[in-house]
Amino acid sequence: MNNTSEIGFVSPVKMDGENSETTEPSPAPETANSSDDSQKEKEDEDDHVMSEIHLGCPPKFSGSFVSYFTFSLPPDVEYIEGKYEYRVLDDSKLNQEVSLDDDGDLVLPRRNKHPKDKFDVAIQHNITSSIPKVGLQVWRAELVLSDFVLHKMYTSSKFDGIVAVELGAGTGLVGMLLARVAKTVFLTDHGVEILKNCANNVHLNSTLLPSKTTVYVRELDWKASWPPKQDNCASCESYAWNQSQFEELKRASLLVAADVIYSDDLTDALFHTLERLMPHGLEKVLYLALEKRYNFSIDDLDVVANGYSRFRSYVRDETDDAENNELPNGSLSAFVGTRIDLTKIPQYAFNYNRGLDLELWKIKYVREEEKHIT
């Protein structure tokens, strides 16, 4: 098993003109095949990594910073009679719509905009972090998932009034967007520092979140035992679950997770948790956004995406034919997924670089008796 953490080789980019600093990409930590877990943990703590998303922070800034992430309707989404409509504008329509006024200036078609079409989310995040604290940063996959969630929210009522869970939520951006229409949102992660930062973000955005939505920040550590630790002390300030919240979790129909595929042992732990969570109560669908990271492997003498391969070893692609359904270990996967075409999802978040390395998957858990259905 290759346990290399794959999150370390991202390079910072200029996002909005304020942060023009560029530095060398941080190298992927070389911890493959180490049998000494504590040595690996120590190395992970020593290695610092940097996401590409660090809006507006001054050059050489380190530590925690509050950025404002602006979301706005792209030009191809219109608000028409109480509904948002997404239109694919073909060139011929655009040509027809463009005309000149008396002064010879271009008259551009006016688009209907709703007052809530543009809003800012305040996010407290770090610019760099050690690998165990990557949840203090915002990663590109979180923005892709934000775009997807907003698109669903604008063009359907699917997420209205639901119970939703964000896994490995980090700063909690996607979960907070969902909280604008959902009934209950659980923002989950592990470790007090990350959970505290996430709770602080919920606090920073309290005016954005409708009072009828309940947002919980809760510890859901994929490596801990199931069910997660419960604590029924009402006045306790902790991120532990109580019985009624755990019951509410059963009623979740939507799970979301971004950039949680970067280390094989974490991928194993995540799918182990999903095996427990997804059959629990209401049928659940998971939307998982990931960054496909490539590394040079000495074993393969080639550039490979090992973390991605591990992920794919758990998820059967629904579009594959029946013969390809069998996994290398001879079993049929309980997780069935389809890759969502990102070109169909408009970019609501500011102009970040989507790139071809970002993928979004819709994943369902198929119960035993359904496994043979293709």
Ligand X SMILES: C[S@@+](CC[C@H](N)C(=O)[O-])C[C@H]1O[C@@H](n2cnc3c(N)ncnc32)[C@H](O)[C@@H]1O
Report if residue 29 touches ligand X, rule: CB under 6 A.
no
Q: Which H helix or E strand runs over 123? A: strand 118-126
Which residue lies nearer to ligand X by CB, 147 or 189?
A: 189
Judged by CB under 6 A, the stretch of 59-67, 148-156, 177-185, 257-265 that binds ligand X is 257-265
Q: What string marks each residue from 295 to 334 as x (binds ligand X by CB under 6 A) or -?
A: ----------------------------------------
Give the interface size with ligand X as a residue count (CB under 6 A).
23
Q: How far is the CB of 190 from ligand X (least distance, A)?
A: 4
Determine the Cα–Cα distance for residues 119 and 176; give it in Å rounded to an integer. Answer: 13
Report if residue 168 touches ligand X, rule: CB under 6 A.
yes
For residue 374, which of 304, 316, 329, 294 has the smallest C-alpha distance?
A: 316
Report if residue 354 touches ligand X, rule: CB under 6 A.
no
| Sequential DSSP letters for 291-335 | E---EEETTTTEEE-HHHHHHHTTEEETTS-GGGGB-TTSPBPSE
Q: How far is the CB of 219 from ligand X (least distance, A)?
A: 8
Among 208, 240, 269, 285, binds ligand X (CB under 6 A): 269
Report if residue 290 touches ligand X, rule: CB under 6 A.
no
Report if residue 288 touches ligand X, rule: CB under 6 A.
no
Among 111, 183, 190, 251, binds ligand X (CB under 6 A): 190
Which residue lies nearer to ligand X by CB, 315 or 366?
A: 315
Q: How far is the CB of 335 from ligand X (least distance, A)?
A: 18
Question: By three-state DSSP, how is residue 138 classified?
Answer: strand
Q: How far is the CB of 369 from ligand X (least distance, A)?
A: 30
Determine the Cα–Cα distance for residues 265 and 34; give it in Å rounded to an integer. Answer: 12
Show contacts with ligand X in window 210-239 (CB under 6 A): 220-223
Question: By three-state DSSP, how is residue 254 classified?
Answer: strand
Q: Are strands 64-72 and 83-86 parallel, antiparallel or unpaired?
A: unpaired
Find how far residue 5's CA is from the centre of its chain.
18
Which residue lies nearer to ligand X by CB, 111 or 292?
A: 292
What own/partner pairs with CB < 8 Å and gap ≥ 24 does 322-326 have?
322/374, 325/374
Which residue lies nearer to ligand X by CB, 77 or 182?
A: 182
For residue 186, which of 121, 257, 135 has the smallest C-alpha distance?
A: 257
Q: How far is the CB of 186 from ligand X (least distance, A)?
A: 12
Q: How far is the CB of 7 from ligand X (least distance, A)?
A: 6
Cα 272 to Cα 222, 289, 335, distances in angstroms: 7, 18, 11
Could you tell me the end-to-end alpha-carbon distance of the chain, in angstroms, rounded to an integer?
Answer: 30
Nearby residues of 277 by Cβ (< 8 Å), 6 or more positions away: 165, 249, 255, 284
Report if residue 84 touches ligand X, rule: CB under 6 A.
no
Q: How far is the CB of 26 from ligand X (least distance, A)?
A: 14
Beta bridge partners of 113: none
Closest residue to ligand X using C-beta atoms: 135
Among 153, 255, 258, 290, binds ligand X (CB under 6 A): 258
Determine the Cα–Cα distance for residues 165 and 187; give it in Å rounded to an integer. Answer: 6
Q: How far is the CB of 49 from ligand X (least distance, A)?
A: 9
Q: Which H helix or E strand runs over 360? A: strand 358-365
Among 134, 182, 345, 363, binds ligand X (CB under 6 A): 134
Q: How far is the CB of 134 from ligand X (least distance, A)?
A: 4
Report if residue 189 touches ligand X, rule: CB under 6 A.
yes
For residue 163, which of 247, 284, 241, 254 has the smallest C-alpha distance?
A: 254
Residues that bind ligand X (CB under 6 A): 7, 134-135, 138-139, 141-142, 168-171, 189-190, 194, 220-223, 258-260, 266, 269
